[in-house]
A and B are shown apart, each in its own frame.
Chain A
Amino acid sequence: MASTVSFQQTKEQQRAKAAWDDVQEVDRKSPDVKRKYRGLVLKLPVMILTNGLGQALAFLKSKGKGNADDPHEIVYAHLQKWLFSEIRWTGATQPTLIERIFNTTSETYRQATTEALSYLHWLRRFAEAVLPEPEEE
């Protein structure tokens, strides 16, 4: 028999890989964007815990104003990409994450919240490792 080692990756490996790619993408941008992105992913988990995922995403949208180069929009895009691929969105087929959040079931919303936190866990680790710290005031 051939080797029985499974080639299936763990969920954590998949998250780590996707998060690493996301942070590498940010690392090619301007120093200002890098610093702001780092600060954002560091504070986002607590923001989700205290205000909820919907509020946190609305905050990113209100700051990013649809400008694809804004760090807020970049974080939002990273979350959207990951959650779209990982969550089975019951009853929600809208094209943007925030619309799906508002239209899906309460149960899926809860799953999305825990998944977003698990993903951010890796994003912030890698952001801390790769991206520059904000300059001292």
Chain B
Amino acid sequence: MLRATTIAGLTFAATTAGAETLTIYAYDSFVPDYGPGPAVAEVFEEQCGCEVEYVAAGDGAALLSRVRLEGARSGADIVLGLDSNLVAQARETGLFAPHGVDAEFDLPVTWDDDTFLPFDWGYFAFVGNEGTEAPSSLQELADSDLQIAIQDPRSSTPGLGLVLWVEQAYGEEAGALWSDLADNVLTVTPGWSEAYGLFLDGEVDAVLSYTTSPAYHSIAEEDDSKVAWAFDEGHYVQIEVAAVLESSDQPELAREFMAFIASDGFQSVIPTTNWMYPVIEPEGGLPDGFEALAQPESALLYPPEEAQAVREAAIDTWRGALAQ
């Protein structure tokens, strides 16, 4: 006990000792070497002369839950990786402070929120292998024998995005679609990484990800065999946001980082590390390979307050259909 306490104390002391440390809670796939985290940190550390420390705290909703549990005692200065569907819920906690950044965003919708700053965006899509017969709609997928992995909407922002996608596209019929889809769902994972890993391991035919995911395989691995399926219903949009915590002990540094998010230093790293669209087009334009990506004909998205209003009922529908 004593030893564990001492060690906990030591690590705690180590993280606060330098004083100029910016602690960012981010989702699991942002933090590791293959994610955008290290590259972003390197550029910013040079600019601020400080240290950036990431805490991988699970996907979107888990991030929010974590700062709610920690409340004003949270060690985080910034939370990075909520999305527009969680913004209203996050705002209600009163834990977040205005970011003070003024920027024009290239988004499929207008975004002017003084607290939650978008850092990238994308269209949700199922990603499968070339050669697998691609369904052309959610309904066709549900009627097929294809096995898919999806994420839990209670923990993961893609999972929540899919539930809202189905809700917006099918309305009253959403429950019926989920019942049809239930036998296609091999498993529901807590986060994006686990589901994508199952797909890469060949455990499933397709995985819920983004239209931009095939770019990773074609650019980073020169592998053109992964394709995003285009669906007739249109594709739900994800706008990922970051926010400063009111309780931050580094408010200056945190706001500096928020301004950095809207700068080229951050935005130019995003496409080929997070494999999403930047919210402000980088100076050099989008990387080669992005132009070949599927462009959905129509974009679906609930504004934050509406997403909050339908979220709970939509998740209950999902849970009810899949618990059968």
Partners in one complex: no
